[in-house]
Structure 1
Amino acid sequence: MSSEGFLKEMQTIGEKFLVKLQKLPKADPVEIVSFCVVLLFIGEFIGGILPSPRLP
């Protein structure tokens, strides 16, 4: 995949994410909970990739 294709795909995903966020206040409770679960999984995935800081 070229870098232009990757950037276009990331832009599309970002736009869909913003649309979901805008519709969230009017959503059903089940949809809100499922959206939060997806965000938690994304956070855990990114947290597992990034190295944790070492304390002195």
Structure 2
Amino acid sequence: MDGLLFVGPKVKPFRRSTVGRKRRAVRSKVGLPDGFRFHDLRHTGQTRTTRPGAS
């Protein structure tokens, strides 16, 4: 496979700095704290599924 699933603004592969910059802008726009990481969502989901009554 040669195609890219996601490309940057210049139709080239995303660079780590581009992703970080965009993520910080969105994070502040929706009101998440500065220390929030995308990976934190995984922990939240796992915590909720272990509560009593979760299936």
Interval containing the TM-score (normalised by the shorter chain): 0.3 to 0.5
**TM-score, normalising length from structure 2?**
0.33
